[in-house]
């Protein structure tokens, strides 16, 4: 049987999407939404320099969101934003939930792929916070 791989943005970050991937034994990476509990995990995580990505730092931790049956592996990359007007630098962390054992560089799609999906394929907006509705929207946009 051929291995199934899935990659999704934060519009598909929900328990139902993870359970659907698990049900078909797929390997997956989903961009996570930052909740207050997630931000606390990011603050407590052990960050190390990210030598194989364009990010400045990376971390990895186990986390179980509210309502999920089990804890999952979360990986986050921290990017340094441009200098702010005050002269201070700000960091933003980009977490993903995954069950793939592949290296971190495979987690980020190429910027041109994101731009193409957003602009050319009409996927710039997700109409709902529900997985099934977003999935239907995505399939219709790709068929169109």
pTM: 0.61
Q: What are phi and psi of 47, to 5 degrees?
A: -90, 140
Does the pLDDT value for residue 112 go beyond 90? no
Domain ranges of the chain: 5-106, 109-144
CB 111, CB 60: distance < 8 Å: no
The string of pLDDT tens digits covering residues 35-75 is 899 999 999 999 999 888 778 889 999 999 999 999 999 99
Q: What are the residues whose beta carbons fall under 8 Å from the beta carbon of 26, sequence distance 6 or more?
A: 3, 4, 5, 6
Please report the beta strands in 1-144, taking only residues with DSSP state E, as ranges in sequence order. Answer: 5-8, 27-31, 48-49, 57-63, 72-80, 91-98
């Amino acid at each position: 049987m051929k291995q199934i791989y899935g990659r999704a943005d934060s519009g598909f970050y929900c328990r139902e999407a993870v359970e659907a991937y698990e049900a078909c034994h797929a390997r997956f990476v989903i961009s996570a939404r930052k909740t207050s509990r997630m931000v606390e995990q990011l603050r407590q995580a052990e960050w190390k320099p990210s030598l194989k990505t364009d990010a400045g730092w990376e971390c990895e931790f186990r986390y179980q969101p509210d309502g999920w049956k089990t804890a999952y592996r979360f990986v986050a990359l921290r990017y340094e934003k441009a200098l702010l007007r005050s002269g201070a630098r700000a960091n933003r962390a980009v977490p993903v939930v995954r069950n793939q054992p592949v290296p971190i560089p495979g987690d980020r799609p190429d910027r041109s792929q994101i731009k193409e999906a957003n602009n050319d394929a009409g996927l710039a907006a997700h109409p709902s916070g529900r997985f099934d509705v977003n999935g239907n929207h995505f399939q219709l946009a790709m068929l169109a």
